[in-house]
Amino acid sequence: MSASARKAFLSIGEVLAQLRGDFPDVTISKIRFLETEGLIEPERTSSGYRKFTRDDVGRLRYVLSAQRDRYLPLRVIKAHLEALDRGLEPAEGADGSPQVPRALTAVDGLPGPEAFVMDVSDVRLTRDELATAAGLTLEQLEQLEQYGLVAPRPGGSYYDGDALIVAKTVAEMSRFGIESRHLRPFRSAADREIGLFEQVVAPLVRQRNPEARARADETVRELAALSIRLHSALVRAGLKPGLTR
């Protein structure tokens, strides 16, 4: 619903008419009482008449349903509304605390540690095959190499699946006027992260035994997944005010 639709004002009589179908016992006095208790806060005209929005009606429905169907006291319902106003999930019990929505902390769609396991069956692409698969010209691929975004596998002339993902991603970003030279900070940031992770696992690597090596590999994978999550959250937070306003 748009902001203008939510701001379409209703009189208390119109609100009552909308609620009566589901709540036959509701009265104007009841609505005024709920306002007195701070459960709704309708705006007022200069003459003192109440002006209700669609959101006010939704809050009233929530209150009346909670009273009728769950027998919740008004203090608990008010706490639920305050939690919802803050983007939280109301407490389950009367004395519980509101919870952060799972969707806010879920990492669905983001790579987990398992995504960073080395795949020995990874593809091997020639330079021409990589450019064709990514939708790049050889000149564009050369620019990616120049800025350190892709490189052949060490000791060979083939490119792997990671190089293909990078190349295809850059090709898609180029549709918005972003060029390889604009993406150098991504390479620099990735190198700094890699260096940090290497420092973290250095004590394990120095032990030079299979168990320690396995723990080091697992730690690096977990850190890599966490870094992706952190990067995603920081970008999302930075875009919150809206760059297109």
Contact yes or no for 70/81 (Cβ under 8 A): no
pLDDT for res 96? 60
Here the contacts of 28-34 (C-beta below 8 Å, separation 24 or greater) are 31/60, 34/60, 34/63, 34/74
pLDDT for res 117? 72
The alpha carbon of residue 214 and the mean position of all alpha carbons in its chain are separated, in whole angstroms, by 32
Provide DSSP, 139-192: HHHHHHHHTTS--PPTTSS-B-HHHHHHHHHHHHHGGGT--GGGGHHHHHHHHH
pLDDT for res 109? 66
pLDDT for res 13? 94
pLDDT for res 121? 47
Largest CA distance in the chain: 82
pLDDT for res 182? 93
Q: Say what the pTM is.
A: 0.60
CATH code of domain 113-239: 1.10.1660
Domains 3-105 and 113-239 are alike in CATH topology: yes
What architecture is domain 3-105? Answer: Orthogonal Bundle (1.10)
Spatial separation of the C-alpha atoms in residues 119 and 97, rounded to whole Å: 44
Domain borders along the chain are 3-105, 113-239
Mean pLDDT of successive 10-residue segments in the chain (245 residues)?
60 94 95 94 91 94 93 91 84 67 60 68 82 92 93 86 91 92 93 94 90 92 90 86 60
User: What residues have CB less than 8 Å from 212, skipping those under 6 apart?
Assistant: 204, 205
| Alpha helices per DSSP H over the chain | 3-6, 12-20, 28-36, 54-70, 74-85, 102-105, 127-134, 138-146, 161-173, 184-207, 210-239
Spatial separation of the C-alpha atoms in residues 125 and 228, rounded to whole Å: 26
